[in-house]
Amino acid sequence: MITDLVKTSGLEIQLDAAKPGLVFGKGINFSKPGVRTLDAMREVLLDKDVLEPQELYYMYRDVYRISDKALLENNKLRYDVTVIKPDFLGRELMKTAGHYHPGSYGELYEVLYGHCFCMLQKPKPNDHQVIDEVILVEAAAGEKIVIPPGFGHILINLGPEYLVTSNWVSSLFSSEYGLYKQAGGAAYFIIKAAGKLEFMRNPYFKKLPEIKLLKPAALIDKFGLAKGKPIYPMITEEAAKFAFLNRPADFDYGDVFAESVKKI
Ligand SMILES: [Fe+2]
């Protein structure tokens, strides 16, 4: 099945679920996706003896309209698209490996297709086994997730469809996966049993707060973000709104999430 993602992304991209992967329109730069395999993820899984699926998700890094190349370089930004299968990893819902950013760099995610949780966790600066805050952001197509400085993050596909996300991020750093591997996963494992979600604490952590379930704010004016407004095209006229991605400490992040009426 082919699903057009142009409306949510603002770029000529299609999801080809049979491939699985993305099909890019003319004039768009892309390269072969990085594939996250089961073996590469085993350390961060609750059930380490899982046998399938072999391929979990596909990372298309540095996607852009060729005519926008200089804009991305001048603004020191990179745009990526990630395609995450709808499946289980043993008892766990399909998820990404998780990483922190060096320094205080944040990130901007957008859901292009599907339905997800983004689990954010903030460790104590001098002891990463103590987590000060765990935020679970529930988002669907068209919604934006701002990752504030200091938070590690994973994406969880709530299914039943593929999850496709895009992100803008500073091109000046590389993500750090080591602490998630050392911890054997994120703060909590999310499992589905008898159709119900359960949240299991990761015993690696000495201190874990309760999960705060939030949703993305529908409008974040200072960053130019609105539900349903694609973030890719902002690079041509509103790139200044992305200054928070390279100067994270200059901004306040108190308004990027909203209360959720749901309970977990
Ligand atoms: Fe990130």
Report the separation in Å between the CA atom of 228 and the middle of ligand 1, taken as the mean of its atom positions: 22
Give me the CATH number covering residue 119: 2.60.120.10
Residue 263 pLDDT grade (very low, low, confident, very high; cuts 50, 70, 90): confident
pLDDT digits (tens, 9 = 90+) for 197-226: 999 999 999 999 999 999 999 999 999 999
Report the separation in Å between the CA atom of 135 and the middle of ligand 1, taken as the mean of its atom positions: 15
Of 13-22, 38-47, 167-176, 255-264, the one with minimum mean pLDDT is 255-264
Q: Is there a domain that residue 239 lies in?
A: yes
Cβ atoms of residues 127 and 182 within 8 Å = no
The CA-CA-CA angle for residues 238, 254, 154, to 5°, reads 80
What HEC string does 80-105 produce? EEEEECCCEECCEECECCCEECCCCC
**Residues whose CB falls within 8 Å of the CB of residue 254, separated by 6 or more in sequence, listed in order:** none
**What value does the mean pLDDT of the chain take?**
97
Q: Is there a domain that residue 229 lies in?
A: yes
Q: Note the pLDDT of residue 224.
A: 98
Report the separation in Å between the CA atom of 179 and the middle of ligand 1, taken as the mean of its atom positions: 13
Report the separation in Å between the CA atom of 153 and the middle of ligand 1, taken as the mean of its atom positions: 7
The residue range of the domain holding 122 is 2-259
Query: What percent of the chain lies above the pLDDT cut of 90?
Result: 97
Mean pLDDT calculated for residue range 11-37: 97
Q: Structural domain tally of the chain?
A: 1
Report the separation in Å between the CA atom of 194 and the middle of ligand 1, taken as the mean of its atom positions: 32
Cβ < 5 A residues, ion ligand 1: 107
Q: What is the DSSP letter of 25?
A: P
Q: Is there a domain that residue 264 lies in?
A: no
Q: Note the pLDDT of residue 160.
A: 95
pTM of model > 0.95 = yes
Report the separation in Å between the CA atom of 193 and the middle of ligand 1, taken as the mean of its atom positions: 29
Residue 67 pLDDT grade (very low, low, confident, very high; cuts 50, 70, 90): very high
**Residues whose CB falls within 8 Å of the CB of residue 261, separated by 6 or more in sequence, listed in order:** none
